[in-house]
Structure 1
């Protein structure tokens, strides 16, 4: 007796599950226009599956670095993988499990074309989170200069600690205000005021608008201004832009609570505080998060980007502030 193998080490009898299967839970900005290839954008996007069995393989149409979490085990990095990839450990027992597959960093884009369970395995109804928090920011929100990229950032850590769904719409070097940018290769050419409207992260030539008629996050956390300060954006222009940005968020997500953080280096502290106080009069769901003295000099890698421990400190503070609204 022999088993017939096909490409990627699959058995001829294996049934490939399409990415449009309703039992796969996608979180983040995903392009689902091709039912045979679901494509993630922005770092930290992920999908969850709940299944009965002891083996899962996923098919990736393009090389990508991903983190995989099985049940409550430690994250495992699969670096620059493509094709059929077995993402479960050999020791997994044949019972109910949960798996999370995460894009490692800002330019890691998951292109999922299918998945396969072991013989007899089956997908189960996903355990979707009731609350969704979206974090909007720059390299700090993306976890740049940390040991694990997006999953070491305060945004990911606080979202996990709060046991909510969470997204990171953030990118290294991005300011809030368009028209200002760094000169290094790959620096975003547009600010978050414009980039937030798009499906894909900056620097994609073909970048359609994100469909804001999709499900809305209950909570938005904005942390912008560090790059604007470095790029010498005028304080008046910054105030005008962040005012409009907050109003735009309120327009597309009228029922969402908006938290606006002062950057950890206190850039535009006065301007952000005044704008939030003003906007709170219009919409009481807008709230300031003052961050003075949250971190000290030892909590930064380079004076701007927090260390892993610094991100953990920020996460702890954020959880205390946001937790009462996660009901």
Structure 2
């Protein structure tokens, strides 16, 4: 702010104080909300990248919705701590190292009990269960966050307990979805939950509708402008049989889902997987053929016949850790061939 060279100093000072007071009052009233400084480690720090469907609206707490959501950032200094509101279970990976499990922790949680070497480091944090609320980072005095340099591409996986990694040791982190995204070198999200169907029925939430919601429960619509997927992998139909969904209902719902996903992500390649139990295969293929015939040239049916053997399953339905690796081995090249990653 500049004053006229002819202005009286005695009058300029009150003017500056008045302007400062007005700005302060506006901020308190919500007229000009303060923004977090880049590097301060707060929830709204722009150097922290939230991958997946997160609720960051409060500005003081970030809550991951759906499974497999994670955050990434870089930081300087030798230590990093995360603020946890109440008891929570999460995984933390520093400098691309193993995902270390922190069980039942609360308060200010030290992620680096052994200090790191001075320099710039990276952090990835993924919540598993409990009070999954991120309240910011605490760094060394004088240290700051830096942009993590995360990949720009993103693949979104849509499914049920199999896509969520149920019955594996680390759940989402051991799922074929997480492993495939990592192998592709892309950001990845899992819009998946155990027991979910394609078609909404009594006792079974239908992802034909819930996919478009912010969270796995609730009716708030997701804002698809928050991120854009380069690929969407759909693996649905395993649970619909047990809820009496007819072949006609299933095919109609699948076609509708393909159209709506296309509207949400105009440029994404959509992959419709044959369920690993082989359920509703003709209907899934028919929905894909109808989409292609209608002019959608970026949708494919993925034949998964023979991908899994008996040694790849925990029970008759869910892949074990090895089974998820097998799926990622087969699926990653299929996606890469289409989107060029």
TM-score, normalisation: structure 1: 0.88
**Deviation digits for residues 49-80 of structure 1 (CA, Å, limit 9, x no counterpart):** 11111111111223321111111221111112
Partner in structure 1 of residue 176 of structure 2: 154
Unaligned runs of 5+ in 1: 1-14, 182-188
5 Å-filtered alignment, 1:1-327, equals 17-104=41-128, 110-181=132-203, 189-202=204-217, 204=218, 207-282=219-294, 283-324=296-337, 325-327=339-341
Cα displacement (A) at 1:249: 0.4
Give the total of aligned pairs. Answer: 301
Query: 1:39·1:109 contact (CA, 8 Å) conserved in 2?
Result: no
Query: 1:155·1:168 contact (CA, 8 Å) conserved in 2?
Result: yes
Rounded to whole Å, the distance in 2 between the matches of 1:17 and 1:100 is 13
Unaligned runs of 5+ in 2: 1-38
Cα displacement (A) at 1:326: 4.1
Query: 1:40·1:109 contact (CA, 8 Å) conserved in 2?
Result: no
Question: Which of the pair is proportionally richer in helix?
Answer: 2
Query: 2:41·2:48 contact (CA, 8 Å) conserved in 1?
Result: no
In structure 2, the residue corresponding to 1:97 is in which secondary structure? Answer: strand
Query: 2:82·2:137 contact (CA, 8 Å) conserved in 1?
Result: yes
TM-score, normalisation: structure 2: 0.85
Query: 1:162·1:319 contact (CA, 8 Å) conserved in 2?
Result: yes
Rounded to whole Å, the distance in 2 between the matches of 1:326 and 1:25 is 24
Q: Which runs of 4+ in 1 moved over 6 A?
A: none
Decide which structure has the larger Cα Rg and report it: 2
Rounded to whole Å, the distance in 2 between the matches of 1:144 and 1:245 is 24
Root-mean-square deviation (CA, aligned residues, Å) is 1.6
Rounded to whole Å, the distance in 2 between the matches of 1:114 and 1:213 is 24
Cα displacement (A) at 1:234: 0.7
**Deviation digits for residues 28-60 of structure 1 (CA, Å, limit 9, x no counterpart):** 101111011111111111000111111111112
